[in-house]
Amino acid sequence: MKIFNVGSVNADFFYAVPHLPRPGETVAAGSMSRGLGGKGANQSVAIAKAGLPVHHIGAVGADGQWMLDALSGFGVDVSAICQVDGPSGHAIINVSEDGENEIVLMPGSNRAVPLDHIKSSLDDITPDDWLILQNEVNGTRLAAEHAKAAGAKVVYSAAPFDVGAICEMLPFIDVLAVNEGEAKAMYAALGSTKSAELESVSVLKTLGSDGAEFLHQGTAHRVDGRNVQAVDTTAAGDTFLGYFISAYAQGQPIEECLTLANGAAALKVTRPGTADAIPRLSEVLAFIS
């Protein structure tokens, strides 16, 4: 069993600020740092740190070699990440003293992945495999169609939120991942007809400090949040998804999947950063025990 991820690879530029800027306000940053990020890269790193092989499919610019080196160092297979013209994707992330964040995203090469590259990189996907997708790259529908035709399971993170993209993807996905705000916007926008299509899809909803729930075959499974001191909530949802799918794909009970993922996300928010700050499985197991 393998996990494929057609996903974004970003350079994250972090700015520590006393509070998130209000409209028209200039806020002085106390420090600045650079790290590996992007929803796709974060999820791949979480899966790799959870102990499963993950093959990342995507693109970087000529400035992106350091990101490939970082991914590879975390155990992610980067052989299907190609180089394209233009800059790599990057994000400007303001992190306030209470751990909340505000992100401006430049897609760059993440929106320029050649479609034939995506398809050829998925040629050996099988019914035993899983495909992870998000809204930060192009070609998601093509990848989902290709994977479903091969009998693989498809997981789709509906972020950045786009109700049109969700409607387009619904026929091909097995697990839909949303946060609480995205879930409310989704159900309000879909209406009764499209919402009925969700009955055949398992929905993983993260609830921030309140935990998460997994709606599967009409049954809601819930895990409460953990009481930790949040330093940086960036990539918490990606960490949760990566750990949850890693356990779920191996057939572990849903409650155990939720507990593991919840512990991983809670431990992540106690650390500044994105991919670098995602904990390894041994750390998560020690934390939840």
DSSP string, the chain: --EEEE---EEEEEEE-SSPPPTT-----SEEEEEEE-HHHHHHHHHHHTT--EEEEEEE-TT-HHHHHHHHHTT-EEEEEEE-SSPPEEEEEEE-TTS-EEEEEE-GGGG---HHHHHHHTTT--TT-EEEE-TTSS-HHHHHHHHHHTT-EEEEE--S--HHHHHHHGGG-SEEEEEHHHHHHHHHHHHHHHHHHGGGSEEEEE-GGG-EEEEETTEEEEEPPP----S--TTHHHHHHHHHHHHHHTT--HHHHHHHHHHHHHHHTTSSSSGGGPPPHHHHHHHH-
CATH number at residue 256: 3.40.1190.20
Catalytic residue among 123, 124, 238, 276: 238
Inform me whether the pLDDT recorded for 196 exceeds 80.
Answer: no
Please, which pLDDT band fits residue 84 given cuts at 50, 70 and 90?
A: very high
What pLDDT shows up at residue 194? 62
The answer to whether residue 203 sits within a structural domain is yes
The answer to whether residue 93 sits within a structural domain is no
238 has catalytic annotation: yes
What pLDDT shows up at residue 232? 86
The answer to whether residue 249 sits within a structural domain is yes
Phi/psi for 150 (5° steps) reads -85, -5
Inform me whether the pLDDT recorded for 195 exceeds 70.
Answer: no
User: CB–CB of 261/225 below 8 Å?
Assistant: no
What pLDDT shows up at residue 198? 80
Which amino acid is located at 46 in the chain?
Answer: A
Q: Which of 3, 252, 40 is nearest to 128 (CA)?
A: 3
The answer to whether residue 262 sits within a structural domain is yes
The answer to whether residue 63 sits within a structural domain is yes
The answer to whether residue 279 sits within a structural domain is yes
What pLDDT shows up at residue 130? 98
Instruction: Give me the percent of the chain exceeding a pLDDT of 90.
Output: 82
Mean pLDDT of all residues in 136-141: 96
User: pTM for the full model?
Assistant: 0.91
The answer to whether residue 120 sits within a structural domain is yes
What's the total number of domains in the chain? 1
**Residue ranges making up the domain that contains 143:** 3-7+39-86+113-288
The answer to whether residue 98 sits within a structural domain is no
